[in-house]
Amino acid sequence: MENSVSKYISSRTVEYEIANLKQLVFEVTDGCNLKCKYCGYGEFYDKCDDRNNQFFPLKKAFIMLDYLKEFWGSGKNRSYSQKIDIAFYGGEPLLNIDFIKQVVNYVERLEVPSKSFTFSMTTNGVLLGKYIDYLIDKDFHLLISLDGNEQSNSYRVDYSGNNSFKRVFNNIRKVQQENPDFFDSNINFNAVLHNRNTVDETYQFIKKEFGKIPRIAELNKVGIHKDKKETFWETYRNKYESLHQSPNYEIIQEDMFYNAPDTQRLGLFLHQYSGNVYRNHKDLLMGTTHQKQYPTGTCLPFSRKLFITVNGKILPCERIGHQFGLGKVTNNSVILDFEKIAEKYNIWFNKLAQQCNKCYNLIGCVQCIFDLDNTEGNPRCSSFMDKNAFEQYTNAQMEYLAKYPHLYEKIMNELILR
């Protein structure tokens, strides 16, 4: 079978992405001080390893950083001046603050020519007040999880079932009042949409209270337990429908910009089909081609980030199931076989190639293989477009652009798709 597999990527592709890695994400702990009902590692889902309240071993973090340092400092890294983001994820990462401090200290002492490092974190905000001085000192960029007002936030509860809203809100307000410059430049909000809030309510609350435009995300529809599907769909709310039901639709759409579903679709359409987007100097001088080199819209391995679970499993992203691990960090070394990783992706791409070759939106595809059911078996692409569907899609983008023509310039000048 292997001989019949088309070679869309090679081991050199994987090696290049590792050497030019933009973000390294540590799952600092799989423990959390909250028990959110819809948590991606909670009762709805079966796509992750068992959660055992573990902390990431510091030794493995240093081994991973030393491994990457050799690539970052080699000729395989093509960026003269590059910022590399070191991100901390959970669980709740602030439960393991000692790990964070020691990793930051280690990174600050890494000697990598022409490279600089930034630090970021996704946090539920419960411990924000306790550690904010350190986070400010190290110029952390924080993404705080908050679903809106107290009712909207009522799925974010602790293990006693108490709403975390007041604790988190008070912590955020204190940072805003005592450290306004840091708050303005370094703090953003992420909200989850569900049946107890709406896009309008969440947007209005966070903008009014904190002057920020939140990122609002739907519940993940992949990897749901069979016996939890009914409860899941009772909890789920569609972002597109919720936004369009808002009496403030046009204001929210303008403020959210690329996080608004309609504008996001238009942005993808323009970047793929306008002919006015150049990804590098070579494209500008020699012209671009729309010929995709591989099926689906799946990111190349490690082209955006490298995520390490608390168990040392290496994945290309924190959003995908742990069963898709590509390597691991042991107590002695990093195990990443670039050849085997390329083979895995080539097998996955081949499974979808026949469908993709018939899809009219192939070059504009953003469908991730890991978000399809039965990826390891015989997956069917839910984003497939025949001629009629693509014409409807194209007409919808042109109608939206005709209604909001100013978005063309804003998208082309301000938006970079990564």
Per-residue pLDDT of 296-328, as tens digits, reads 999 999 999 999 999 999 999 999 999 999 999
Question: Which distant-in-sequence residues (6+ apart) come within 8 Å of 288 by Cβ?
Answer: 275, 277, 278, 279
Residue appearing with tokens 């430049």: 185
Nearest to 168 by CA among 220, 216, 129: 129
pLDDT in tens, 345-390: 999 999 999 999 999 999 889 999 999 988 888 899 989 999 999 9
Q: Which residue(s) pair with 307 in the sheet? A: 25, 315
CA-nearest of 92, 33, 27, 42 to 314 is 27
Confidence of residue 416 (pLDDT cuts 50, 70, 90): low
Q: Is the pLDDT of residue 286 over 60?
A: no
| Selected residue with higher pLDDT from 322 and 414 | 322
Q: What mean pLDDT comes out for the span 401-406?
A: 95
State the DSSP H helix or E strand holding residue 215, giving kind and residue range, or none if neither.
strand 215-217
Give the type of residue at 34.
L
Tell me, rounded to whole angstroms, the distance of Cα 388 from its chain centroid. 31
Angle made by CA atoms 319, 289, 393, in degrees to the nearest 5: 60
pLDDT tens for 91-108 read: 999 999 999 999 999 999
| Beta-bridge partners for 217 | 192
CB 214 within 8 A of CB 191: yes
280, pLDDT greater than 90: no
pLDDT band at 403 (very low <50, low <70, confident <90, very high): very high
**pLDDT tens column, 389-400:** 999 999 999 999
Q: 241-274: per-residue pLDDT in tens?
A: 999 999 999 999 999 998 999 999 999 999 888 7
What is the DSSP secondary-structure string of 256-319? HGGGSHHHHHHHHHHHHHSS---SSHHHHHH------SSSSSPPPTTSS-EEE-TTSEEES-TT
Please write the tens of the pLDDT for every residue from 186-217: 999 999 999 999 999 999 999 999 999 999 99
- At 4-36, the pLDDT tens digits run 678 999 999 999 999 999 999 999 999 999 999
pLDDT of residue 291: 52
For the segment 113-129, the average pLDDT, to the nearest whole number, is: 95
Structure tokens at 395: 């007409």
Q: Is the peptide bond before 364 cis (omega within 30 degrees of 0)?
A: no
Contact 101, 140 (CB under 8 A): no
pLDDT band, residue 2 (cuts 50/70/90):
very low
**Beta-strand runs (E) in 41-130:** 82-89, 115-123
